[in-house]
Amino acid sequence: MSCTPPSLKFRRDITKCFFLGVISVPPFANYLVFLLMYLFPRQLLVRHFWTPKQQIDFLNIYHDIRKKSHPEILSYLEKVSPLISEKGLRWHMTELCTKIQRGTHPAIPDILALRKCFSKPPLGMSQLHASQIKALSRAMLLTTHLPSFLLRRRLKTHTTVIHQLDKALAKLGINQLTEQEVKSACYLRGLNSTHIADERCRTWLAEWLQISCSLKEAELSLLLHNVVLLSTNYIGTRR
């Protein structure tokens, strides 16, 4: 992902090379490395070894993993909507869930109308149920094998970083990005962008930024859910 700082990526690649180095010295036979590479190509091959075709295949595999959590995340929203105290907001939430479940891509105002309920129970970042925290972690491709207070903290950090990147990106302007950078930025924010035309990716990213830049720190739970809300039904994503 080109959004990872280069130094981090480099360090991770070095770690992998180190690991490969260790397992290729005796008593481990050299062929074991190739067997492992064959069994775990995504974990062991550093990025630079990948062909573009492989990169797309891997992004597809990862997207498949995160997509599996979408129905669970949406049904949680549906389940907790009766607990929203304001009647208008409750109605908006039900509408949005129904719309998305029927395959419609929501409009920006549909999502922003709900910002208030994502800053307090039951949808605020600190009040989300552990099951939803797990599902959202999966949607962000983060491991779920940690206690939920750690998952929550990590999701919070992740979302805050994305929010800051968004503000910087909005200032810079999307037109300053190359096609590849736009695709990566969209992928990072939940879109299966590998096969979507550049123009469409830019439109999607602009929608995302408009939502993100309207949100306050306290409403970041909405940005996190937006990874699902905005990406599920975007053109060419649903089969």
Q: Which positions from 111 to 150 touch ligand NAG by CB under 6 A, shown as an x/- string?
A: ----------------------------------------
Tokens 């039900």 -> residue: 94
CB of 26 to ligand NAG, least distance (A): 41
63 binds ligand NAG (CB under 6 A): yes
Binds ligand NAG (CB under 6 A): choice among 10, 15, 29, 64: 64
DSSP 163-183: HHHHHHHHHH-GGGS-HHHHH
Binds ligand NAG (CB under 6 A): choice among 12, 42, 167, 195: 195
CB of 13 to ligand NAG, least distance (A): 25
Backbone φ/ψ region at 236: left (φ over 0), alpha (ψ -120 to 50), beta: left
CB of 133 to ligand NAG, least distance (A): 23
d(CA 64, CA 55): 14
60 binds ligand NAG (CB under 6 A): yes
d(CA 116, CA 221): 10
CA-angle at 135, arms to 13 and 39, nearest 5°:
40
d(CA 30, CA 48): 21
Residue nearest to ligand NAG (CB): 195
CA–CA distances in Å: residue 43 to residues 15, 33, 50: 11, 12, 12
d(CA 132, CA 135): 5
By CB under 6 A, which span of 45-53, 61-69, 81-89, 164-172 interacts with ligand NAG? 61-69
CB of 186 to ligand NAG, least distance (A): 12
Task: Tell me the residue type at 25.
Answer: V
Which CB, 63 or 115, lies closer to ligand NAG? 63
Binds ligand NAG (CB under 6 A): choice among 119, 137, 184, 192: 192
Residue 106 near residue 230 (C-beta atoms within 8 A) = yes
Count CB atoms within 10 A of the CB of residue 226.
23
Binds ligand NAG (CB under 6 A): choice among 67, 92, 134, 138: 67
CB of 63 to ligand NAG, least distance (A): 4
By CB under 6 A, which span of 11-19, 59-67, 78-86, 150-158 interacts with ligand NAG? 59-67
Q: Interface with ligand NAG by CB under 6 A: which residues?
A: 60, 63-64, 67, 192, 195, 236
